[in-house]
Amino acid sequence: HETGPRHTPTSTLANGPVISPPHTVDAFVKAFLHELNFGQGVPLSRSSVNDQYLALARTVRSYLMARWLETARRRRTDKPAKMVGYLSAEYLLGRQLDNALLATELTDIATEAMVACGIEIDDLRQQEVEPGLGNGGLGRLAACFIDSMATLGASSIAYGIRYEYGIFQQTFVDNRQVEKPDAWLSMGGPWGVVHPEMEVPVNFGGHVETYVGEDGRERRRWTPAWGVMALRYNYMVPGYQNGVVNTLRLWRARATESFDLHIFNAGDYAEAVRAQTFAENISKVLYPEDSTPQGKELRLQQQYFFVAASIKDFIQHTMPKDFDVRDLPERIIFQLNDTHPVIGIPELMRILLDEHDLEWEEAWAITKQCFAYTCHTLLPEALEVWPVSLMERLLPRHMEIIYRINEDFVAELRETYPGDELRVRRMSIIADHPERSVRMAHLATVASVKVNGVAALHSELLKEKVLNDFSELWPERFTNVTNGVTPRRFIKLSNPEQSKLISDTIGKGWVANLDRLEELVGYADDADFREKFRAVKAHNKTRIRNVLVSRDGIALPEGHLLDVMVKRLHEYKRQSLKLLHIVTLYDRLISGEVEPSTVTPRTVVFGAKAAPGYAMAKETIFLINSVAQTVNNDPRVDGRLFVAFPPNYNVTLAEKLIPAADLSEQISLAGKEASGTGNMKFALNGALTIGTDDGANVEIRQLVGDENFFLFGMTEPEVAELQAKGYRPGEYYERDPQLRRAIDLIASGHFTKGSRDAVSSFVGDLLYNDRFLALADYAAYIEAQDKVEAAYGDQDNWSRMAILNVARTGFFSSDRSIRDYIDRIWHVKTGV
Ligand code: PLP
């Protein structure tokens, strides 16, 4: 896609076509052996599983590469089109091999080729370590979106960071979470292609001074104190069987020669190496906080690092040499995935002002057309702010520019709202309390063409609450794009049995046109189809049982309702409420209140990582594990309740677990979950949802119908009302004997080997704080769960409901989300 430094050979071969290896088993075997022998340097007879995996990955990559080169060539020769530059600090990609095989229609050929070589392809699949370059929903959304952009042939490029260590590996020791580093590259990263000669410098620190240019005008000059090089790694993002392969460009930090030369020259070798390590730290590790930014300097370095590299790369390498930056708005729209890349706004201003000599007004007019911002939260603590003192030290020129943007903005506000200083202070990009800092969401909103929320309810609350002042000022700037998930990875690949049933019934077109699932609606009343649908679920349950036995030594019981809550551990998501439900079920069984044989057997599976510094989340993990241990070993339970918490929930596990679920737990406090995407994956894989009126649950329920959804709990206005009135969780404890028994059982140390201390912070928080109102929704939740059990008793009707969930949730394809972005925000071409 780029026109950077090139040496074009004069040979006639230079403009010849790219030769793709043929789609035959023979050709594939040949290419595979070539990679094994001459790439890995081993004969087949002496190759390890890892050698075979790497050779297979590179073989598939060569087929992708042919399409990638062709896509780039086409886009170079066609009339230049406006592109999307998707900027995201996270991409939670999941394993690459199967998706690449699916996209290139090589699954059967590769399988046969491996058989011909005497290799079980499944063993090679297991060898791949997923690139976990994201925390959860936000990063996984970015991964689904790039899949859809490629599938729609949207002219686009995605940018991010190639963290050396992705999201930590979670282990449990004595029921507590212990984090291990995620060395995902240690066995070789076959999917990324590095171009060391295309690196880009990124600078930090130093000072700014005024100088007078040749034209007599005063200008500002930034003299940075230090810098690093951004090394580009290209990852190929294949569209689904359409010949398109897009680029995901991830940056890795490398020390510059000049960075340490003077230290080397001073003779301090050790210091020079330390300095080099310091520079390379920038892309070393993904910050493991989900929704709660830590305000660490290194994180700001990461943000500026990847955004500055990306913008420079786009202007210098993707645009033609004679490109005029005044044309930028016709050539690019940068989509900001949350506030992490918002520093790109002053960076583009700096480039236009300082490197291209534009006047402020012109630079601002251009910049304002080049960004759009997606907000992902409603939690005030999740809104990123950076201390002015840190900004001034790390990015002094950018801080100046932000001050100037704010000055103009505040002047505009004072004109619009004379005398309303309170409003001006609320809206200012600079906050004065508790510390002078930059509000990144405000900066993003001021500079963006559009600001979008990620579900209908979220976008409304964004306008009413989080960014209310801004939506009053610029109502037309706000829009909604409901999130989506890719049907390729999360149905076709993750649920082959359901996919086959659907394709056998309505044809194969649904994979790239998920609305077609609607054609299944009529089959909900077809007994034969329901039978087949149940068989798919049973198959998927057997599959997850096998996975968990070999992965974790966990043996799930058979014949249970499979109740799944998988997502990051966060108080607002209310794993604690789920836990109270489990303890209530357990209490009913051991107290003799119910006869075990009358109880619907249920297995609850949790998956959840906690941010390493998030104490309450870690306490909850400890308690879930402790409850699981007690419940699973109590003979009085009589096999009616089982709790499993496999460690290290990630995309690979999600792909196996979600298709097996009967019940999807989406129980966040109303008004707190921006969208959720796990909720969509479950519905599309034939699970029924028990959920609050929150995030995209609202739209799921509207689409599937109230009768096919277990709704419970307060609505967002009810929550607001209760909080305004003064919420006292203790009152619920006093009033509800069932709740009291559950909490007392936990508090007694029953699940923690008699230790009350081990649970005191958890119990104390529930009774005296309970910020997310778990106790207020408890009774409604238990009642809804009792309805679930009654409904599950009628298997035929349950299947009917599940089929309708699949049939009516095609809306949640990320292809639809991307089409919405294109229509409402980006206005770029597709089919290229
Ligand atoms: N983590 C992983 C591995 C996921 O696949 C997903 C989404 O499916 C999430 C987190 C986000 O889950 P939720 O939307 O339930 O928060």
What is the average pLDDT across 588-595?
Answer: 96
Question: How much distance in Å is there from the Cα of 822 to the middle of ligand 1?
Answer: 24
Question: Taking a C-beta distance cutoff of 8 angstroms, is the pair 452, 373 a contact?
Answer: yes
Known active-site residue 398: no
pLDDT in tens, 654-695: 999 999 999 999 999 999 999 999 999 999 999 999 999 999
Please identify, by atom number, the ligand 1 atom nearest to the C-alpha of residue 137.
11
Q: How far apart are CA 439 and CA 437, in angstroms?
A: 6
pLDDT exceeding 90 applies to what percent of the chain?
90
In short, whether 160's Cβ falls inside 6 Å of ligand 1 is no
pLDDT digits 0-9 by tens, 596-606 = 999 999 999 99
Predicted confidence (pLDDT) at residue 495 exceeds the cutoff of 50:
yes
Residue 81 CA to ligand 1 centre (angstroms): 34
Residue 681 bears catalytic tag: yes
479 is catalytic: no
CA 194 to chain centre: 24
Are 110 and 23 contacting, i.e. CB atoms less than 8 angstroms apart? no
> What is the distance in A from the centroid of ligand 1 to the CA of 285?
20
Mean pLDDT (the chain, rounded): 95
Please give the pLDDT value at position 6: 63
Of 140, 340, 450, 573, the active-site residue reads: 573
Length of the chain: 832
How confident is the model over 448-453, as a mean pLDDT? 98
Angle formed by the axes of helices 360-367 and 396-416, to 10°? Answer: 90
Q: Is 95 in the pocket of ligand 1 (CB under 6 A)?
A: no
CB 657 within 8 A of CB 605: yes
Q: What's phi and psi for 250, nearest 5 deg?
A: -110, 135
Site to substitute for ligand 1 among 566, 664, 668, most atoms within 8 A of C-beta? 566
End-to-end CA distance of the chain: 13
The verdict on the CB of residue 697 being under 6 Å from ligand 1 is: no
Told to judge if 573 belongs to the known catalytic residues of this protein, a careful annotator would answer yes
Measured from the CB, is residue 488 less than 6 Å from ligand 1? no
Q: What's the pLDDT tens digit per position in 74-88?
A: 888 777 789 999 999
pLDDT at 428 over 90: yes
pLDDT at 454: 98
Q: pLDDT tens, 307-354?
A: 999 999 999 989 998 999 999 999 999 999 999 999 999 999 999 999
Strands 371-374 and 245-255: unpaired
Q: What 8-state DSSP symbol labels residue 24?
A: S
Q: Is the CB of 695 under 6 A from ligand 1?
A: no
DSSP state at residue 781: H
264 — pLDDT class (breaks 50, 70, 90): low
Which pLDDT does position 260 carry in this prediction? Answer: 58
Q: What is the pLDDT of residues 534-587, one digit of tens each?
A: 999 999 999 999 999 999 999 999 999 999 999 999 999 999 999 999 999 999
The atom of ligand 1 lying closest to the CA of 485 is 8
What pLDDT shows up at residue 259?
55
Report residue 406 as tokens: 């704010």
* Reported pTM: 0.97
* H or E element that contains 422: helix 421-427
| Domains present along the chain, CATH in parentheses | 16-77+97-129 (no CATH), 80-95+133-378+448-481 (3.40.50.2000), 540-807 (3.40.50.2000)
Residue whose entry in the numeric block shows the structure tokens 């603590």: 381
Residues facing residue 813 across a β-bridge: 485
Ligand 1 atom with minimal separation from the 676 CA: 14
Interface ipTM: 0.98
The three-state secondary structure class of 26 is helix
CB of residue 132 inside a 6 A radius of ligand 1: no
Token pair, residue 137, equals: 């929903």
Specify whether 537 is catalytic.
no
Q: What is the pLDDT of residue 2?
A: 47
CA distances from 561 to 533, 548, 663, 790 (A): 15, 17, 8, 12
pLDDT digits (tens, 9 = 90+) for 241-254: 999 999 999 999 99
Whether residue 485 is predicted with pLDDT greater than 50 in this model: the reply is yes
Beta carbon of 668 within 6 Å of any ligand 1 atom: no
Instruction: Give backbone dihedrals phi and psi of 590, rounded to 5 degrees, phi first.
Output: -80, -20
